Amino acid sequence: MADSRLAPTNPVDYRFAVHCCAHKFDLTDKPDRAAALFEHIAVAKRFGGLMWPDTFEVIDLITGEKV
């Protein structure tokens, strides 16, 4: 049974993808999958900056553009 204190998750609500971009340090040659998805751009940028300050990128999933 689901926890009634948690709102249902709708993937459509998560517009911004954060990528760590390990390829920038030659740590991989494989495509970089999103590490996290966020509803708000400010939270996505904050998360990326805390986790990977020199390499992260935030992508708008609707436009496909780096933000």
- 25: which 2 tokens? 């340090």
The residue ranges of every structural domain in the chain are 11-60
- With beta carbons less than 8 A apart as the criterion, state whether 66 and 19 touch: no
Supply the pLDDT for residue 1: 57
- Give CA–CA dist 67/64, Å, rounded: 9
CA angle 2, 62, 55 (to 5 degrees): 90
Instruction: Give residue 24's pLDDT.
Output: 87
Mean pLDDT by 10 residues, the chain (67 residues): 83 95 88 94 98 96 96
